[in-house]
Structure 1
Amino acid sequence: MVTPAGPALPHPLPGAVGLSHLSAYDWPAADGVCGGSPHLHLVCTEAYVVTGGRGAVQTLSPDGCRDIPLQPGSVAWFTPGTVHRMVQRDGLRVTVLMQNSGLPEAGDAVFTFPPEVLADPERYRDAATLPPGTGPGTEAAARRRRDLAVRGYLPLREALAAGDDGPFREFQRAAARLVRHNVPAWRELWRAGALAAAERTGAQLDALAAGEPAYLAGATAYAATPTRRGGYGMCGLRDEYALPGTTLPYADEDAPGGPTA
């Protein structure tokens, strides 16, 4: 009999993606734009599915600067290494889908802080850290963190718009250096999560080809409701889920990189 191989993990969402809901910040930054903290992910693609309101996402990548409009029904996604900044215009709310559930919670994100902050891991950690909870002190710290990220972001955008990708590429390299020590732990999370989910599909195909789909006897359904509402994320207030197959509990926003979006 052919049965699916791999770790016996709780069933994740399709493709072992992460899920949250996000209401974009309406705080104006130094350039007059209301929105979140610019950042990138090192190994995870992120997608926004817009469920309400209007806004945009500003992106920086080696192919230039973009301002992607967001409205109900829009879907936008960005690959690893793309700096993204959510812009609030009128009640923007999105569902966020993250590749490799567990890795964003383990810190797969780096803010666009100025170079001198990125060069010092302890200083970066202090700048990225938020107090626990959702009180006024946490909001004030989230605003300071966002403003520091915007301070580092604006020169990157200006240089890239002028055709100079040097500062942007140096930021990517600095971000990679900052998280390099996390790679062994991230690799284990990937093996237990996204890789295991893909391998289960391969084993299921083998079982079907052999005419012995015993795994179908375990068919079932799952449901979930938010386990935390209104947490301070990188881009806005987050409703989070502890989903089946999530390899880590949601980290507090005080972790450098913290939960995404």
Structure 2
Amino acid sequence: MVSLPHPLPGAVGLSHLRAYDWEAADGVCGGSPHLHLVCTEAYVVTGGEGAVQTLSPRGFREIPLAAGSVAWFTPGTVHRMVQGGDLRVTVLMQNSGLPEAGDAVFTFPPEVLADPERYAAAARLPAKSGPEAEAAARRRRDLAIEGYLPLRAALAAGDNGPYLEFQRTAARLVRERVPAWRELWRAGALATAERTGAQLAALEAGEPAYLADADAFDTGPSREGGWGMCGRRTEYEVPGATVHQDG
């Protein structure tokens, strides 16, 4: 089994983002719309301003973002980070390790989503840095916007059918990855919760021997300026989280 000692609190994943300022087809600057299948994501805004656009069974919503604000969205919620001016966000991800292992699906058009190989090629970045990576990240964002705008329009018209079909298609795309995800979950989030249970039992029994293992840890960025889904990404290689393969 995978071993992930000393995870961050709650076995969350951590990164920092500077939202893209690329203008999309609808005249809005921002990142690539996508959803997560099993992870809740939170934005803690540390500077600038902007918004996060979401699609859910309750329709379209645009949540303003400014320094000090916090927004989060549960699995299945399509989200798009929108740049308003120097937007900077600390991202907290549930089940650290799963988002980096592929728990995200872009809102590409249906014909791309229907072909796993075509989807993988469109989602993959050919390099981790440089002009080629930037161009590919922007093409990926534009393709996600191409599929996102019809989903949003349909929801605005009262038709949630295309959005629900996108969710189902996304689930089919990641199905084969679930066994590997389960191992990461067991070693990270589940193990952390079980450890707390054991500690509570020890306290109740008056035998807190586990406190002898108390320690402190620190780290710095393992990679800066990656090409993430929503913006330029600063990553932290901490226990329980893996570094993005494609930015």
Relative to the length of structure 1, the TM-score reads: 0.93
Match of 1:214 in 2: 209
SS of the aligned residue for 1:91 comes to strand
Structure 2 counterpart of 1:14, from 9, 14, 26: 9
Match of 1:252 in 2: 245
Q: Hey, what's the Cα distance between the residues in 2 that align with 1:186 and 1:244?
A: 15
SS of the aligned residue for 2:25 comes to coil
Q: Is the 8 A contact 1:23 1:237 kept in 2?
A: yes
Q: Percent identity?
A: 78
When the two structures are aligned, how many residues end up with a matched partner?
Answer: 247
Q: Hey, what's the Cα distance between the residues in 1 that align with 2:65 and 2:75?
A: 20
Greater than 2 Å deviation, 4+ residue runs? 6-9
* 1:7-40 deviation per Cα after TM superposition (whole angstroms, max 9, x unaligned): 8642111100000000000000000000000000
Match of 1:190 in 2: 185
Q: Hey, what's the Cα distance between the residues in 2 that align with 1:89 and 1:171?
A: 28
Match of 1:115 in 2: 110
Q: How far did 1:244 drift?
A: 2.5
Q: Hey, what's the Cα distance between the residues in 2 that align with 1:8 and 1:109?
A: 23
Match of 1:3 in 2: none
SS of the aligned residue for 1:176 comes to helix
Following superposition of structure 1 onto structure 2, how do residues 75-90 of structure 1 map, counting pairs within 5 Å?
Answer: 75-90=70-85
Identify if the C-alpha distance between structure 1 residues 154 and 7 changes in structure 2 by more than 3 Å, giving closer, same or farther.
closer
Q: Is the 8 A contact 1:21 1:239 kept in 2?
A: yes
Aligned-pair Cα RMSD in Å: 1.2
Q: How far did 1:133 drift?
A: 2.2
Match of 1:125 in 2: 120
Relative to the length of structure 2, the TM-score reads: 0.98
Match of 2:59 in 1: 64
Q: How far did 1:60 drift?
A: 0.1
Following superposition of structure 1 onto structure 2, how do residues 206-245 of structure 1 map, counting pairs within 5 Å?
Answer: 206-245=201-240
SS of the aligned residue for 2:146 comes to helix
Q: Hey, what's the Cα distance between the residues in 2 that align with 1:105 and 1:90?
A: 27
Match of 2:40 in 1: 45
Match of 2:147 in 1: 152
2:92 maps to a residue whose letter is L
2:175 counterpart of 1:176: no
Q: How far did 1:245 drift?
A: 3.3
2:244 maps to a residue whose letter is A
Q: How far did 1:76 drift?
A: 0.1
Match of 1:102 in 2: 97
Q: Hey, what's the Cα distance between the residues in 2 that align with 1:146 and 1:185?
A: 27
1:239 maps to a residue whose letter is T
Q: Is the 8 A contact 2:2 2:184 kept in 1?
A: no
Match of 1:93 in 2: 88
Unpaired runs of 5+ in structure 1?
1-5, 254-258
Unpaired runs of 5+ in structure 2?
none
Q: Hey, what's the Cα distance between the residues in 1 that align with 2:73 and 2:120?
A: 25
Q: Hey, what's the Cα distance between the residues in 1 that align with 2:138 and 2:239?
A: 32
Identify if the C-alpha distance between structure 1 residues 134 and 7 changes in structure 2 by more than 3 Å, giving closer, same or farther.
closer
Structure 2 counterpart of 1:199, from 186, 194, 207: 194
Q: Hey, what's the Cα distance between the residues in 1 that align with 2:99 and 2:196?
A: 23
SS of the aligned residue for 2:15 comes to strand
Q: Hey, what's the Cα distance between the residues in 2 that align with 1:187 and 1:72?
A: 35
